[in-house]
């Protein structure tokens, strides 16, 4: 088994269906090299009933039980997976095109034992932005060797930055070996805990704590002022203006980081 796609969901049937449809419409791939694993963190029947009705030509399994959050669920996906590589395509995330997996398989075979990172397209209403999160990676558009994930795992105490915490630990140990490909791998809709202005202070608090844990010097005042500005922008002008400003600022900031080789 070459690739396991792990999808984490919780009562998001519509999002899960969109993710599923994007997987089954992939062209020019060997489906015997693919498996889909769904981790459903709920005991409600709607998602479970749907998962029991689908009949697909590649290996597929799901588990429905309560968990301790997204990173606990992602760890369960790692445990259930049989692929040499794992991709986390969570509920509502979709593969960008019908040839996305074909391109990923070609790169997996070319760059063995590497983390392979593509780009992600963020979507909010009619707004779009393509990102790669350099110098880090976006987990929705990244293929990771299972051997790394089995050794490190995600910290289930993290609510938002469990993926960044993992990248930082890999880099600390000299294992953040990334091949970047010029392909948009996934599309995902904004509005969740990782980007919504509703959770801006939760993100701020966890990021400061993460920096302290990993021995990273925090630019506390600058970060605080940025969050106050973005939060105020949301309150006064609404969420669409918030995302427009976020796209613009992050693009400028990331260009500077890449140019100067600064940490995220």
pLDDT digits (tens, 9 = 90+) for 83-93: 999 999 999 99
260 has a pLDDT exceeding 70 = no
Is pLDDT above 90 for 77? yes
Q: What is the pTM of this model?
A: 0.93
- Asked if the peptide bond before residue 135 counts as cis, ω within 30 degrees of 0, the response is yes
Strands 85-88 and 3-9: parallel
pLDDT for res 255: 57
For residue 92, which of 190, 165, 221, 159 has the smallest C-alpha distance? 190
Q: Which residues pair with 23 in a beta bridge?
A: none
Mean pLDDT along residues 36-44: 90
Of 9-13, 196-200, 224-228, the one with minimum mean pLDDT is 9-13
Q: Helix %, strand %, coil % for the chain, to 5?
A: 45, 20, 30
Length of the chain: 264
The secondary structure of 104-134 as a DSSP string is HHHHHHHSTTSEEEEEEEEEETTEEEEE--T
Q: What is the pLDDT of residue 21?
A: 95
- Point out which residues pair with 116 in neighbouring strands: 143, 179
| Closest to 230 in 3D by CA, of 207, 255, 257, 249 | 249
Report the pLDDT averaged over residues 28-39: 94
pLDDT surpasses 60 at 263: no
- Whether the Cβ atoms of residue 156 and residue 71 lie closer than 8 Å to each other: yes
Asked: is 3-189 a CATH 3.90.550.10 domain? The reply is yes
CA–CA distance, 38 with 162 (Å, rounded to integer): 19
- Kindly indicate the confidence band of residue 27, based on its pLDDT and cuts at 50, 70 and 90: very high
Query: What residues does each domain of the chain span?
Result: 3-189, 190-264
């Amino acid at each position: 088994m070459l690739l396991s796609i792990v999808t984490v969901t919780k009562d998001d049937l519509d999002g899960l269906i969109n993710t599923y449809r994007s997987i089954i419409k992939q062209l020019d791939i060997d489906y015997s090299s693919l498996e889909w694993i769904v981790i459903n963190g709920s005991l409600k029947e709607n998602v479970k009933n749907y998962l029991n009705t689908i009949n697909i030509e590649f290996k597929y399994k799901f588990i429905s039980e309560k968990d301790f959050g997204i990173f606990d669920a992602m760890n369960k996906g790692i445990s259930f997976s049989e692929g040499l590589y794992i991709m986390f395509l969570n509920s509502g995330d979709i593969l960008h095109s019908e040839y996305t997996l074909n391109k990923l398989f070609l790169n997996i075979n070319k760059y063995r034992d590497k983390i392979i990172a593509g780009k992600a397209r963020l979507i909010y209403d009619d707004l779009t932005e393509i990102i790669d999160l350099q110098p880090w990676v976006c987990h929705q558009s990244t293929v990771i060797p299972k051997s790394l994930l089995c050794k490190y795992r995600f910290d289930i105490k993290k609510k938002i930055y469990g993926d960044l915490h993992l990248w930082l630990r890999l880099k600390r140990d000299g294992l953040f070996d990334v091949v970047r490909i010029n392909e948009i791998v996934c599309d995902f809709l904004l509005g969740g805990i990782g980007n919504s202005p509703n959770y801006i202070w939760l993100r701020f608090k966890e990021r400061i704590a993460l920096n302290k844990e990993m021995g990273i010097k925090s630019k506390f005042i600058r970060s605080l002022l940025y969050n106050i500005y973005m939060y105020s922008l949301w309150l006064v002008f609404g969420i669409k203006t918030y995302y427009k400003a976020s796209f613009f600022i992050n693009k400028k900031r990331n260009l500077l980081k890449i140019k100067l080789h600064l940490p995220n």
